[in-house]
Amino acid sequence: MSRTDLIADVFTIIRNAVMVGKNNVDVPSSNTVKSILEILKQENYIDNFKVMQDNKQDSVKIYLKYNQEKSAIRNIKRISRPGLRRYVKRDKVPSVLRGKGLAIISTSKGIITDVQARESGLGGEVIGYIW
């Protein structure tokens, strides 16, 4: 089965797992997904993730984080999609919930957060929001 938007599929799998209260979830792997998960781990939205080797396509097991029965991830949303890419200039990098959320930006220096993009003076494609 071919996928047109792997990142949107991963975001949906995470969102659904959080809604039903799962502790971990398996998602398809790619370098972009691994970079996004590394950011989510650094920003304390997930506990950890582990790449599971397979003969066909690797998968990633994500260990979700909960604080007193509530998930650290309230919502995760895909912004740029294959049919409509969203790009921002360095002075127009979005702030999610007045800085309480996180915007994930794909730049020429790799996938970084909105705060890192502002500090570096970089713009790029807005992958998604998480809060």
Q: How many domains does the structure of the chain reveal?
A: 2
- 48 vs 50: CA distance, rounded Å: 7
- pLDDT at position 55 is 78
Residues of the chain with pLDDT under 70: 1-2
Plot region of 24 (φ>0 → left; ψ -120 to 50 → alpha; else → beta): beta
* Residue 23 belongs to domain with CATH number: 3.30.1370.30
Strands 70-71 and 59-64: what pairing? Answer: unpaired
- Domain end point (choices 27, 42, 71): 71
**89 and 37 in a common domain:** no
**93 and 48 in a common domain:** no
Torsion angles phi and psi, residue 42, rounded to 5 = -65, -35
Is 1 domain-assigned? no
Full DSSP string of 77-120: EE-SBTTB--EE-GGG---GGGGTSEEEEEETTEEEEHHHHHHH
- Domain hosting 85: range is 76-130
Summarize pLDDT for 103-122 with one digit per residue, the tens.
999 999 999 999 999 999 99
The H or E element spanning position 51 is strand 46-52
**104 and 47 in a common domain:** no
* Residue 108 belongs to domain with CATH number: 3.30.1490.10
**63 and 87 in a common domain:** no
